[in-house]
Amino acid sequence: MTNVPAALRASLAERVPFSTLTVVDQAVSRDGTVKTLFHTHDGRPVEAVLMRYRDGRRSICVSSQSGCPLTCTFCATGRMRFGRNLTASEILDQVLHFRRIEPVDHLVFMGMGEPLLNVDHVLAAARRLPDVGITHRRTTVSTVGWLPGIERITDCGMPLRLAFSLHAPDDALRSEIMPVNERYPLRDVIAACRRHHAATNRSVFIEYVMLAGVNDRYEQALALAELLGAGYTFKVNLIPYNPTDSVYEGSGREAIAAFKAVLEEHGVPATVRLTRGRDIAAACGQLAAERAAA
């Protein structure tokens, strides 16, 4: 604002910054996906991703924490040091960064961190999303199964979509790859998801990352179908694994297709997620981890 005195401009920049986040790095994939690494005012890394689809959708994946206190073994963020919860403003500034590039219409809280460990700020940010063109019905909150937070989402008064990152059809395997299961076992979380469906009449997404030789066998597909039951309470989203430096490898296309066929044969709706941004380290925490290691 050149018509404002320089001293006032300097004061405004210090006290009312344009954004709470500073862009540190940004990468653009061949498929149009854009991943941005930010730093907060105190130097904490934060990642967000813009995904462009051929049907015109523009979806943003945002972070709710810097790092993550949970230690899911297949997740790059889970191997990072936990920094802190993000404020509602820091969450919204991820959205605004991409909104300045082009209109956006879908959002998922599925970046760095567990959103329901920061549920107050996540809900505060979600309430403001319609102002930037993202309705509550096009907003998804993903969780590893943090039970008190699921109840808050169910009772928040907004028709938000719930996604449960399940990744294993039984407690033994799930506890091995996702230690949070020791605190909130599958039976309890699935029951909470059913209550969410009953209260909102919206299917709950089941996120299931496909790990070769770990959770992709025929009998595991049967167990998952039995756990969820037929009908539209749940919709399974099978996720091809975006390799990190972990010990896991992603399941092949044939294994994923066979797993999907078993679910559908037992009346469980299932889709395979379209892989986005694999060439730019677009999985949660990858860009931050690569920059920290450089």
- Is residue 123 included in any domain, yes or no? yes
180 within a domain of the structure (yes/no): yes
Helices 218-228 and 186-200: crossing angle in degrees, nearest 10, is 50
Residue at 95 is within a domain = yes
CATH of the domain at 94: 3.20.20.70
Q: Is residue 182 part of a domain?
A: yes
CA pair distance 267, 225, nearest whole angstrom: 8
Q: What is the pLDDT of residues 81-92, one digit of tens each?
A: 899 999 999 999
213: phi > 0 → left, psi -120 to 50 → alpha, else beta; which? left
CA–CA gap between residue 215 and residue 192 (Å, rounded): 23
- Reply yes or no on whether the pLDDT at 288 is more than 60: no
Q: Is residue 285 part of a domain?
A: yes
Residue 2 lies in a domain: no
Pairing of strands 58-62, 204-210: unpaired
Domain range enclosing 199: 18-293
Active site (catalytic) residues: 47, 284
Least confident of 6-15, 121-130, 148-157, 279-288: 279-288
Q: Report the domain count for the chain.
A: 1
Which tokens is 84 given? 């802190």
DSSP H helical ranges for the chain: 6-15, 88-99, 119-128, 147-154, 171-177, 186-200, 218-228, 253-265, 286-293
Cα–Cα distance for residue pair 190/199, rounded to 1 Å? 14
Q: Is residue 61 part of a domain?
A: yes
Sign of the torsion formed by the C-alpha atoms of 268, 109, 149 and 132: negative
Question: In angstroms, rounded to a whole number, what is the distance separating the alpha carbons of residues 292 and 65?
Answer: 17
pLDDT digits (tens, 9 = 90+) for 6-64: 999 889 888 888 899 999 999 999 989 999 999 999 999 999 999 999 999 999 999 99
Q: In whole numbers, what is the pLDDT of the chain averaged over residues?
A: 92
Confirm whether 10 is domain-assigned: no
pLDDT (0 to 100) of residue 278: 63
